[in-house]
A and B are shown apart, each in its own frame.
Chain A
Amino acid sequence: MSDTRPTVLSMKDVTLAFGPKVIQKNITLDVKKGSIFAVMGGSGCGKSTLLKSMIGLLRPTAGEYLVDGDRYWDGSEAERTELNHRFGVLFQSGALWSSMTIGENVALPLQMFTDLKPDVIRRLVELKLGFVGMLQAIDLQPSEISGGMRKRAGLARAIALDPDVLFFDEPSAGLDPITSARLDDLILNLRDGLGATIVIVSHELSSLFHIADDGIFLDAKTKIPIAHGSPRDLRDHCDEPQVHAFMHRERDEEGRN
């Protein structure tokens, strides 16, 4: 492993817990600039929780989390908000603000955090919606569009501020294979085009093999990460039975009850 790219996000011995209930411990990871980093694992292993702590919604109970070398959780709330402006997040069901049109959803971060004039914002909104192929839906309400379109609109909102790091929570959940494959291509295009780093939580194997080049595998039973590496490497070279079963869609014989 001689990855010379600079590290954007890094966790050292992080423990995540809700009160006394530990979700995951000993999480150590490095996300390199420009990589697509996959957070993998079975249901209920804490993938989404890890993502939550990365975007500042859940403070780890132990360990440290560095964003570009800065200790994220040591800063004040204002500093964290500043760092969060470099993040774009696509939530599982899009999480579009339901009282605004699609265009207004994408425009809101630009209105709140830049001094751009309304016509410039309008052009940028059209541009971001154009990237995801949603230009025709700019004046529609979130309730009027399908689940896949809601995801793409959420993606347009996530890239509204030209983020350095993009987080995806189950981007292909609930999408048909064709839409999901298109979304994967879109993610790759945006990564290359925007030069962004991407962290993706998923258990959609085909999509993981297609796009991710690094990753971490969380185990639900032992509550620690049991493997590091790209999904393809883990599929071909990992001996850990849990990981093997996950990557090859095997039934977990003993772990069923």
Chain B
Amino acid sequence: MARTGNIPSFPGNGLDSAPAGSTLAFDTRATTRWDTGLIAFLWDVKRVGHDRHITLDTQSLPAPMRQLLDLLPDVPADKPAPRKKRLPFLETIGTHTLDGLTEIGTVAGLGAMTVKGGFLALTGRSRMRFVDLLTDTTNAGPYALLIVGIVNFLVGAILAFVGAVELQKFAAGIYVASLVGIAMVREMAAVMTAIIMAGRTGGSYAARISTMQGNEEIDALNVFGIPTSTYLILPAVLSLVITMPFLYLYGCLVGMLGGFVVAISMLDITAAGYFHQTVTSFGIGQFIFAFIKSIVFGAFIGLTSCRIGLKAGRSAADVGIAATRAVVVGIVGVIAIDAIFAVIADVVGI
């Protein structure tokens, strides 16, 4: 019946002609092959019969049909009331604001716990496993060198291309070196590297922690009293804080190399001239400033991705959502922090 694509439904008034208290019997002699579609139909009959106080003579059914029909309830189950009620406009704003403030508080608390854990680790009193730190650092550092190198090389090369076309018109081709040097040191190397790390490492931390959440591994840690801040978050944040400055330095160098390759091949500049122009283009202050910036980026990516992982739900889809959110928050946050740093730099005059 079901295989043919349709199950006839039994009309609610189908038994109206029968008086209440009577008995309904079935004649199934002509039924040879059937599937559960038939039971679906009989269930309809059973429910309509129940409403009308008509007894079903299930003894007239073959045993298998009877057995299946007996498993089914007479009355439709009470559906649980829909849980989500639309809140009034003001309440919605209030809820979101409170959620936002709570979230900021939680992340700050998590950050404080992690910093505390970090100090304990420095004095050798933390229970962080250095194996975890080593694994995370290897993943966030050496394994990221290739992609960080490629991206920064290309960024440097692109800057040189764009600059060379314009500066050539003024016979100022040598300033391509300054352009690439300043851009890489002040902004591009740190931001590009942070964006890559947010996508690569931040996403993976969020996915890892949310999967642990789904497997009740976080619950197990909590029951043992192993603080998630030192066991999970500290190695993750530290690994990024340790590797980001080095990746920034590396990104600067590779970016300048990219600019060098393009400038040398497009313009009439000597290698020594390019080198000299690059070195004199930026001061050490700018360099240190961006160095600190990359450390902040690392801490930000590590903390937010861990927090998003811890907050995630327990299903497979939630892991995907957590990973996506970690990447988005990481990238947007890095750019926003960079803007704040730009303002600070302007104020202190670097």
Please report A residues at the B interface, Cβ cutoff 8 Å.
97-99, 114-117, 120, 123-124, 126-128, 130-133, 135-136, 139-143, 159, 162, 186, 189-190, 192-195
Contact = CB atoms under 8 A, between A and B. Distances in A.
Given A99-B315, A162-B36, A194 B3 contact: no
Contact of A136 (B39, B67, B79): B79
A99 B317 contact: yes
8 contacts: A99-B316, A120-B2, A135-B76, A139-B79, A143-B313, A193-B67, A193-B68, A193-B71
Given A127-B72, A130-B43, A193-B68, A135 B36 contact: no
Contacts of A130: 43, 71-73
Interface string B76-91: 1111100000000000
Contacts of B36: 124, 127-128, 159, 162, 194
Interface of B: 2-3, 5-7, 9, 35-37, 39-40, 43, 63-65, 67-68, 70-73, 76-80, 214, 313-318
A143 B315 CA distance: 7
Contacts of B68: 131, 189-190, 193-194
Contact of B67 (A128, A143, A159, A192): A192
Contacts, number: 86
Closest 4 pairs between A and B when the two form their complex, measured CB to CB: A98-B315, A99-B317, A193-B68, A135-B77
Contacts of B43: 127, 130
Interface centre among A140, A162, A195 (most CB of B within 10 A): A162
A136 B77 CA distance: 6
Nearest to A132: B71
Given A133-B71, A136-B78, A193-B67, A114 B3 contact: yes
Contacts of B40: 123-124, 126-127
Nearest to B8: A120
Contacts of B78: 136
B315 A124 contact: no
A136 B73 CA distance: 11
Contacts of B67: 189, 192-193
A124 B64 contact: no
Nearest to B71: A131
B266 to A, nearest CB: 52
Given A98-B317, A141-B315, A116 B71 contact: no
Contacts of A115: 5
A189 B71 CA distance: 8
Contacts of A124: 2, 7, 36-37, 40
Nearest to A99: B317
Given A127-B39, A135-B73, A98 B2 contact: no
B77 A98 contact: no
Given A120-B5, A127-B40, A130-B73, A143 B314 contact: yes
